[in-house]
Amino acid sequence: MTDARTSRRTLLAATTALIGLSGTASARTVHGLPWTSNEVYPPAEARPGPWLFFTADEAAAVEAIVDRLIPADELGPGGKDAGCAVFIDRQLAGPYGRCEGMYMQGPFPPNPLPTQGFQSSVAFASAYRQGLAALAAHVGRSFGGRKVQQLSGEELDRLLTSMEKRETNTPEFNASGLFDLIHNNTMEGFFADPIYGGNRDMAGWKLLGFPGTRYDYRDVIARPNRRYELPPVSLLGRPDWNRGGRG
């Protein structure tokens, strides 16, 4: 998300460098606001298409999992149809997957306090790669050579429950860590703006009744405690506007 930065942001810094290079005695003062009209920094939009990070097998496993975490039911679509796996794939292929911006220097002592938060040397993309491989191996052993995506809904629910409850953890397989990671990213995908590939048709927002990015609710404030009837809007607008069904 930070790739789109243009030179405008460094403009003032560059000015300083110039002073130094030319060696002039009087510093050049920057006057006014260095603003260029129509300059904005849109997010990197997730495009439809092939998987960017997942292998076909990983993707199938993740799609199966997100669809159990958020099942399709009478309340609306499930995690798979809402694009949660696509969301996760695009996130892992980008700066998030590399833990860009995080402090990733060692040492990494083995037993951090529970109050000290994330203390792993493994960035999220690698954590998925290693974790999904360990999960595939575990499922192969425990379910007669089958794959995650070949388990029945009930079997998968039982597996996910045991992972969540730390019952599947072994020294080689941090199953609860993998569960928490996928759970967290699935929820992000289901509820983030559709521009990132999940929350397709704003399914997550419709489930809640969240109106999205409308930004001006003075009409709502004027009359508290009334149910809001207007449909949600995303950064992509609405499907019935002009985006040919996207959003």
Partner 1 sequence: MRRLPRKDAVIIGLGWTGAIMGWELCQAGLQVVALERGPWRDTASDFNIGTAPDELRYGIRGELFLNNSQDTVTARNTVDQLALPIRKWGSFLPGNGVGGAGVHWNGHTWRFLPSDFLMRSHYLQKYGEGVFPENHTIQDWGVTYDELEPYYDKFEYLAGISGQAGNVKGEILPGGNPFEGWRERAYPTPPLKMQHAQNLFSRAATELGFKPFPMPSGNISQAYTNPLGVTLAPCTYCGFCERFGCANYSKSSPQTTVLPVLMRHPGFEARVQCEVVRVLKSADGKTATGVVYIDAQGEEWEQPADLVIMAAYQLWNVRLMLYSGIGRPYDPSTGEGVVGKNYAYQANSAVNGFFDSSHAFNHWAGAGSLGITADEYNGDNFDHSGLNFVGGANINCTSFHARPISARPIPPGTPRWGSAWKKATRENYGSFANVGSQGCNMSYRDNYLDLDPTYKDRLGRPLLRMTFDFKANEERMSAYVTDKMVPIMRAMGAKQIVANPKKGPWNVVPYQTTHNTGGAIMGDNPRTSAVNKYLQVWDMPNVFVLGASAFPQNAGYNPTGTVGALTYHAAEAITKQYLKNPGQPLVQA
Distance, CA of 151 to CA of 29 (rounded, Å): 67
- Please report how close the Cβ of residue 103 comes to partner 1 at its closest, in angstroms: 4
Residue found under tokens 């990733």: 104
Between 27 and 137, name the residue whose CB sits nearer to partner 1.
27
Residue found under tokens 């929820």: 187
Distance, CA of 102 to CA of 96 (rounded, Å): 9
Contacts of 41 by beta carbon, 8 Å cutoff, 6+ apart:
4, 5
The DSSP output letter for 46 is P
Coil/strand/helix, residue 27: coil
Between 131 and 204, name the residue whose CB sits nearer to partner 1.
204
Between 21 and 56, name the residue whose CB sits nearer to partner 1.
21
Between 14 and 56, name the residue whose CB sits nearer to partner 1.
14
- Please report how close the Cβ of residue 189 comes to partner 1 at its closest, in angstroms: 9
- Please report how close the Cβ of residue 147 comes to partner 1 at its closest, in angstroms: 21
Closest CA relative to residue 1, chosen from 46, 50, 56, 53: 46
Between 36 and 170, name the residue whose CB sits nearer to partner 1.
36
Distance, CA of 184 to CA of 188 (rounded, Å): 6
- Please report how close the Cβ of residue 93 comes to partner 1 at its closest, in angstroms: 15
- Please report how close the Cβ of residue 138 comes to partner 1 at its closest, in angstroms: 19
Distance, CA of 63 to CA of 151 (rounded, Å): 12
